[in-house]
Chain A
Amino acid sequence: GAVVSQHPSWVICKSGTSVKIECRSLDFQATTMFWYRQFPKQSLMLMATSNEGSKATYEQGVEKDKFLINHASLTLSTLTVTSAHPEDSSFYICSADNRQGIYEQYFGPGTRLTVT
């Protein structure tokens, strides 16, 4: 099946710094990539939808200036958490979809961010 990778798998950063998380589709070109956030024992919450070469579409309540998304190619999207604060500590998951044939989204393994 299709593989989506994320890097790093975990990161600890100090409050006020910025952190970049990469999401790559390894064996297919993704039409769209999605960024989710998950708090402990809660379900995934969609943050934004990212299309290659265009601006991301953010869900209501998600600060686009804080969570910068860049989708430079059909296989790479990045999420940058700017000026991170402890409340940004969470599990961030990306997915990529393949609209060739039967639609499916493939999920990355996630990135655990801890802001101290």
Chain B
Amino acid sequence: KNEVEQSPQNLTAQEGEFITINCSYSVGISALHWLQQHPGGGIVSLFMLSSGKKKHGRLIATINIQEKHSSLHITASHPRDSAVYICAVLSGTYKYIFGTGTRLKVLA
């Protein structure tokens, strides 16, 4: 079993839908990072969380340290949100443990 699990692995949504991507982890962490990777490969940092909730535009990220779970929400989804969303946790040393990613496709 992976130390960082994401669900779903693949997600297709219609434009305008509310989207939730989940991340569960089994190790102790100091922080959790949500990343976005577009088809060209470049990675964009979305959020770094150690507690609570953060919001940026249409994106919201939450984390529950006790339950070892984080969610990334996208409100009013748009085709340009189509990408792979990766959850990465910092555990112990300055090394990330990556989830396998959620491949999101938003249809117009």
Interface residues of A in 39-53 (CB under 8 A from B): 41-44, 46, 49
Q: Are B45 and A109 neighbours in the complex by a CB distance under 8 Å?
A: no
Choose from B43, B94, B99, B103 the contact partner of A103 (Cβ within 8 Å): B94
A46 CA to B52 CA in the complex, in Å?
Answer: 28
Q: Are B101 and A43 neighbours in the complex by a CB distance under 8 Å?
A: yes
Q: How large is the interface on B (under 10, 10 to 19, 20 to 34, 35 or more residues)?
A: 20 to 34
- Judge whether A112 is part of the interface by a CB distance below 8 angstroms: yes
- Judge whether B42 is part of the interface by a CB distance below 8 angstroms: yes
Q: How large is the interface on A (under 10, 10 to 19, 20 to 34, 35 or more residues)?
A: 20 to 34
- Judge whether B51 is part of the interface by a CB distance below 8 angstroms: no
Q: Are B45 and A104 neighbours in the complex by a CB distance under 8 Å?
A: yes
Given the known inter-chain contacts A103-B30, A103-B31, A107-B35, please indicate yes or no for A46 contacting B96, CB distance below 8 A.
yes
Q: Are B42 and A43 neighbours in the complex by a CB distance under 8 Å?
A: no
- Judge whether B90 is part of the interface by a CB distance below 8 angstroms: yes
Nearest Cβ in chain A — how far from B32, in angstroms?
12
A85 CA to B94 CA in the complex, in Å?
Answer: 31
**Residues of chain B having any CB pair with chain A under 8 Å:** 30-31, 33, 35, 41-45, 48, 86, 90, 94-96, 98-101, 103
The 7 A-B pairs of least Cβ separation, nearest first, read A109-B42, A107-B43, A110-B41, A43-B98, A43-B100, A44-B98, A104-B48
